């Protein structure tokens, strides 16, 4: 039985994105260009773990653990205004 999380885009609440100024820390898949983990963060890439749901926090910790194995080094991306209103 495989207990690893599936690679997906993960996000916390819109209020967390607003509080952090509209940035996402993105862990891009090394094997599937269309898949990634993404988490709200500040401009320096700091993620507020307390603002994440339990599932998102677990996925964040997993993504950090598999850097270089399943995902690339994370990078900070600004959240586009249209993406923020889609939630």
39 occurs within a structural domain:
yes
Per the structure, the complete domain to which residue 71 belongs is given by 14-79
The pLDDT-based confidence of 16 (bands split at 50, 70, 90) is very low
The CB density around residue 24, as the number of other CB atoms within 10 Å, is 25
9 occurs within a structural domain:
no
How many residues are present in the chain?
A: 87
As given in the structure block, the two tokens for residue 60 are: 């964040």
- Report how many domains make up the chain: 1
33 occurs within a structural domain:
yes
53 occurs within a structural domain:
yes
Please write the tens of the pLDDT for every residue from 17-28.
444 459 999 999
Backbone angles phi, psi at 10, to 5 degrees: -120, 135
63 Cα distance to chain centroid:
8
47 occurs within a structural domain:
yes
Tell me the whole-structure pTM to 2 decimals: 0.71
7 occurs within a structural domain:
no
Q: How far apart are CA 10 and CA 30, in angstroms?
A: 17
77 Cα distance to chain centroid:
10
């Amino acid at each position: 039985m495989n207990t690893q999380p599936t690679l997906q885009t993960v996000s916390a609440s819109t209020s967390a994105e607003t509080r952090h100024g509209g940035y996402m820390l993105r862990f891009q898949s090394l094997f599937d260009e269309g898949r990634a983990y993404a988490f709200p963060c500040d401009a320096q890439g700091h993620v507020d773990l307390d603002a994440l749901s339990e599932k998102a926090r677990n996925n964040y910790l997993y993504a950090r653990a598999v850097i270089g194995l399943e995902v690339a080094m994370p990078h900070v991306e600004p959240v586009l205004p249209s993406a923020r209103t889609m939630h």
